[in-house]
Amino acid sequence: MGIKTGIIGSGIGGIATAIRLALMGHSVTVFEKNSYPGGKLAEYKSKGYRFDMGPSLFTMPHFVTELFILAGKNPANYLEYDKLEILCKYHYEDGSIINAYQDIDLFAEEIELKTNDSRESILKHLDKAEKIYNLTSNIFILRALHKTSNLYNRDYLKAFLKFGSIDALTSMHNKNKKAFRDPRTQQLFDRYATYVGSNPYSVPATLNMISHLEHNEGAYFPKNGMYSIITGLHQLAGELNVKFNFNSNVDAIVLKGKKAQGLKSGGKTFPFDFIVSDIDVNTIYGNLLPGKELKPKTKNLSSSALVFYWGINKAFPELSLHNILFSNNYKSEFDAIFNKQNVFSDPTVYIFISSKLVKGDAPAGYENWFTMINVPPDTGQDWNALVKASRENIIGKINRMLKTDIENHITTEKVLHPPEIYNKTGSYKGSLYGINSNSRFAAFNRHPNHRSRYSNLYFVGGSVHPGGGIPMCLSSARIVAHEIKHRK
């Protein structure tokens, strides 16, 4: 019969793990409670509009394409994507607009033209970000960090000897404040803390490496939208005989001593040699393990999101694929999210419009707006009231900064808030990335991909090492497949 592996959840980490283990000869079955694959990377259609519901930024595409290459397939037959010319368009309350060009020299010139900072300061900052990434990636991204044997290597020693140069002892904001004179440039680079659901005023400046991935390595966009990443990988998994059980909620992980023997789903028990979880670890420990033997971590959760999916009956040529309308008080916004567990009255608004590049995503002359703000996870707030107030604040900000009356152009609307994120994806309290990174030891506090307590139970996805976002989830799949392959 061969090795049988069960995977809980078909997020991108779960599908990637299924592909890798199928290529290793495993017979893989994926259990997904929804009727579709993708987890947070889902899509929604309404009245001629199509929306990517979750992740909208595509970096490090080699993490995706290598899965097709490993299977002996041509990636272009499953997924096509282009490099962006403009990474993001940043709007400020003073009326200034900064285009983050893909070309680093153009971007540096744009900063020099629009702010009080020099092109040299940008190039120096991005060069430092690249050096931090090169020093730390083999430790914090590509390997099982919590496995002691992986710490005895040249990369770890090199990073340890150069610890001072990775900026772990200061915050992202403090470092950016020293690097740039203009508050607008500081705010632009502080924003990268939100990529891991964290606070730039607390998160270690080591995470400035994120700007390297976007600016130096590049950002891309699939020709058919973000969900085409999932459809391509799902197709590949099917060709490798991975079985998907949709509408199949997992009720329990069956344990005997330190071994996971199988999964309970739909009143049946399915035996497996290995089990991989691709859902939030707090949900696993709170719901699926007998005796709930590890309490969920309710502190230090990452931020969540409040999203309005709007069909807009007008085109806005002044907007790009990715757009940011910055808060006029960034520090107060993050204080509200992380310290007050509330939604700020002047939130930073992110507008993602896939129809700018995928014409079929909206009717001709119209646009599909994914309109998002960062919010705290669900800790019992009145989300009906928060959604109503936030909608008014967002619309007011859009009208003010884009000089429009956006509500008159909204033809269809869907709302996604933290409780609904939990219901759809199992993300604990709607937290998008598990724990946040607001401490210098956050990477070590993140849940490992394997614990000795359970000999054959492994963990992938955004709530475990190395973290959230498409590349990190794919890296977790690579780590788990490697650990299973070389298991002693």
CATH of the domain at 456: 3.50.50.60
* 22 has pLDDT over 70: yes
Average pLDDT, the chain: 93
Phi-psi region of 59 (alpha: psi -120 to 50; beta: other; left: phi over 0): beta
Same domain assignment for residues 107 and 203: yes
* 265 has pLDDT over 60: yes
Closest CA to 21 of 67, 74, 77, 78: 67
- Per-residue pLDDT at 144: 72
- Per-residue pLDDT at 296: 52
pLDDT over 70 for what percent of the chain?
94
* 331 has pLDDT over 90: yes
Mean pLDDT of 263-267: 96
- Per-residue pLDDT at 291: 60
Q: Is residue 65 part of a domain?
A: no
Q: What's the CA gap between 314 and 406, in Å, rounded? A: 9
Same domain assignment for residues 91 and 209: yes
- Say which DSSP state 8 is in: E
Mean pLDDT of 80-93: 98
Same domain assignment for residues 308 and 292: no
* 79 has pLDDT over 60: yes
Closest CA to 281 of 164, 135, 453, 485: 453
* 108 has pLDDT over 60: yes
* 395 has pLDDT over 80: yes
* 156 has pLDDT over 70: no
Alpha-carbon torsion (230, 231, 233, 237), positive or negative: positive
Same domain assignment for residues 319 and 384: yes
Same domain assignment for residues 109 and 209: yes
- Per-residue pLDDT at 289: 84
From 195, 217, 239, the end of a domain falls on 217
- Per-residue pLDDT at 360: 96
* 437 has pLDDT over 80: yes
Residue 35 Cα distances to 246, 391, 397, angstroms = 5, 29, 36
Same domain assignment for residues 104 and 213: yes
Same domain assignment for residues 174 and 264: no
Closest CA to 374 of 409, 320, 326: 326
Same domain assignment for residues 286 and 318: no
- Per-residue pLDDT at 443: 74
In what order do the strands lie in the sheet containing 367-375?
97-101, 86-91, 322-325, 349-352, 367-375, 304-312, 410-416
Q: Is residue 429 part of a domain?
A: no
For 406-421, how does the pLDDT look when each residue is reduced to its tens digit (9 = 90+)? 999 999 999 999 999 9
Q: Is residue 59 part of a domain?
A: no
Same domain assignment for residues 207 and 239: no
Same domain assignment for residues 336 and 455: no
Q: Is residue 60 part of a domain?
A: no
What is the domain count for the chain? 3
Residue 459: give the domain boundaries: 4-41+226-297+436-485
Same domain assignment for residues 239 and 335: no
Same domain assignment for residues 89 and 213: yes
pTM above 0.75, yes or no: yes
For 345-360, how does the pLDDT look when each residue is reduced to its tens digit (9 = 90+)? 999 999 999 999 999 9
Q: Is residue 390 part of a domain?
A: yes
